[in-house]
Amino acid sequence: MRVKTRRQSQPPRLQADASFKVICSEDGKPFVFRRGETVVAVNPAGTAGDVSADLGDVNVIYQIGSGSYADGKLTLGAQSFAVLG
């Protein structure tokens, strides 16, 4: 019963049935996906990369390396990770 109570108290975006949409999975570009209202971007490459996408009104809330989103363009530095919300 304790596990069920914890699951129900989690925000919907963290539950197993939250929506999931791949925004970019092109070779040579950062991998970007949306999980609920949260956007996650990963750039494992040794060079910076960018993705043009309308992500809505989001800001970088956590990052490792460098990342920014402005005017419909998400830019990640080499070997970077960002969470936007």
Domain boundaries, the chain: 18-84
Token pair, residue 35, equals: 């999980």
- Give pLDDT tens digits along the chain (85 positions): 555 555 566 676 667 778 999 999 999 999 999 998 999 999 999 999 999 999 999 999 999 999 999 999 999 999 999 999 9
Contacts of 61 (CB under 8 A, 6+ apart): 83, 84, 85
* Number of Cβ atoms within 10 Å of the Cβ of 67: 22
Full-model pTM: 0.83
The architecture (CATH level 2) of 18-84 comes to Sandwich (2.60)
